[in-house]
Amino acid sequence: MPAFISNRLLAIGEAMVELAPEGGNHYQQGFAGDTFNTIWHIGQLLKERAKAGFVTGLGTDGFSERFIAEMQDDGLDTTAVLRIPDHTMGLYLIELKGVERSFHYWRKDSAARHLADDAPALNQALAGSGLIHVSGITLAILSPDARETLFAALSAARGAGSIISFDPNVRPRLWASTEECRQTIKSMLSFTDIALPSFDDEAWLWGDRDPDATVQRLMAHGVAEVLVKDGAGPVTAATGHGTLRIETPPVTAIRDTTGAGDSFNAGYLAGRFLGLEMEAAIALGQRLSAAVLARLGARADRSEIDAIRSVLGR
Ligand SMILES: Nc1ncnc2c1ncn2[C@@H]1O[C@H](COP(=O)(O)OP(=O)(O)O)[C@@H](O)[C@H]1O
Ligand SMILES: [Mg+2]
């Protein structure tokens, strides 16, 4: 893998206001979203060794202000947030039926859908970044024109040395059609350096029979580094030099699977940034996602993140 050209590490996408049930009619309000969850964990793992930042669209309202303040408190760079007057953050509410969780979304008109509306600002935000992380959800929420703007910006940044990571995170409901989803993801893969798919998504979208088929398909698109996550199953990792299969350590007390993939991505990418080999970076991803599985919500406990940081020993 080429070296990271700088310690500016970015994720592009949508964070939403989260309402999580606390019993009765009481809800705890937070902020979450796949690419945000990833960059948040990268920021907490790496602290001052990196400048982790989130690229999104937000409004000028109180919720947007609070989210920016919270990101800044957590050490994230927010200078690339595009402010969209007259729009606000999307929202989702978690409904609990016993231990089953279902999600209700209000995000069709969110400010994040406009994150690529200002092409020069986007280009400037991405310029010189070591890493730019994008997901299929990022692509799904954009208009076709905005996707082209984003692709042009990613391709320019990549041409200047930025490493692009991509988690397809397929969410059928966000796409106008399966074909549109497939075509957009194919375009994205043409400038992806590190792909981080989950096997169940890929099996659904492409009919892959097993993780090896996913690896073959992505390598055929020219992706240099492919990591296929598969829940409790092994991670299948591949580069031009060969394929590794790494068992996933069992996690016993799972409370909530939300954000498992996002935090795995964070551990893996932070590990690669620190110069770890794939196997050690995968172990870091697995350890971080185990910490997320043990808790309600998409974020690991601070004490667990600190424990992982101390193992990194730097
Ligand atoms: N049941 C599980 N037991 C242990 N680890 C798990 C389990 N589910 C997920 N993980 C961890 O989270 C990672 C991502 O899980 P996966 O379910 O594939 O992603 P996503 O959350 O995107 O659907 C896995 O590679 C693994 O490290
Ligand atoms: Mg996922």
> What is the per-residue pLDDT for 314?
56
Domain extent listing, the chain: 11-312
> What is the per-residue pLDDT for 255?
85
Ligand nearest to the CA of 282: 1
Is 142 buried (19+), middle (13-18) or exposed (0-12) by CB count in 10 A? buried
Q: Give residue ranges with CB within 6 A of ligand 1.
A: 198, 229-232, 235, 248, 251, 254, 257, 260-261, 264, 286, 289, 293
Structure-block tokens of residue 248: 């996933």
74 in active site: no
pLDDT band at 123 (very low <50, low <70, confident <90, very high): very high
Is 120 buried (19+), middle (13-18) or exposed (0-12) by CB count in 10 A? exposed
pLDDT band at 312 (very low <50, low <70, confident <90, very high): confident
Q: SS3 sequence, the chain?
A: CCCCCCCEEEEECCCEEEEEEEECCEEEEEEECHHHHHHHHHHHHHHHHCEEEEECEECCCHHHHHHHHHHHHCCCECCCCEECCCCCCCEEEEEEECCEEEEEEECCCCHHHHCCCCHHHHHHHHCCCCEEEEEHHHHHCCCHHHHHHHHHHHHHHHHCCCEEEEECCCCHHHCCCHHHHHHHHHHHHCCCCEECCEHHHHHHHHCCCCHHHHHHHHHHCCCCEEEEECCCCCEEEEECCEEEEECCCCCCCCCCCCCHHHHHHHHHHHHHHCCCCHHHHHHHHHHHHHHHHCCCCCCCCHHHHHHHHHHHCC
Structure-block tokens of residue 183: 């075509």
pTM > 0.85: yes
169 CA to centre of ligand 2 in angstroms: 5
Lowest-pLDDT choice from 18-22, 50-54, 136-140, 153-157 = 18-22
> What is the per-residue pLDDT for 308?
94
6, pLDDT greater than 60? yes
For residues 304-312, give the mean pLDDT: 91
> Which of 66, 150, 76, 163 is CA-nearest to residue 113?
150
For residues 10-36, give the mean pLDDT: 95
Q: Whose CA is nearest to atom 9 of ligand 1?
A: 231
Q: What backbone torsions phi and psi does residue 272 show, to the nearest 5 degrees?
A: -65, -40
Amino acid making up residue 27: Y
258 CA to centre of ligand 1 in angstroms: 9
136 CA to centre of ligand 2 in angstroms: 9
Q: What backbone torsions phi and psi does residue 80 show, to the nearest 5 degrees?
A: -95, 15
Other Cβ atoms within 10 Å of 157 Cβ, number: 23
Q: Whose CA is nearest to atom 4 of ligand 1?
A: 232
279, pLDDT greater than 70? yes
Torsion angle, alpha carbons of 220, 232, 135, 268, to 10:
-80
Structure-block tokens of residue 311: 């193992």
What mean pLDDT value characterizes the chain? 95
100, pLDDT greater than 90? no
Ligand nearest to the CA of 263: 1
Could you tell me the fold of the domain covering 11-312?
UDP-N-acetylmuramoyl-L-alanine:D-glutamate ligase (3.40.1190)
Is 102 buried (19+), middle (13-18) or exposed (0-12) by CB count in 10 A? exposed
Residue listed under structure tokens 């998504």: 201
2, pLDDT greater than 80? no
Residues with CB under 5 A from ligand 2 (ion): 169, 198, 261
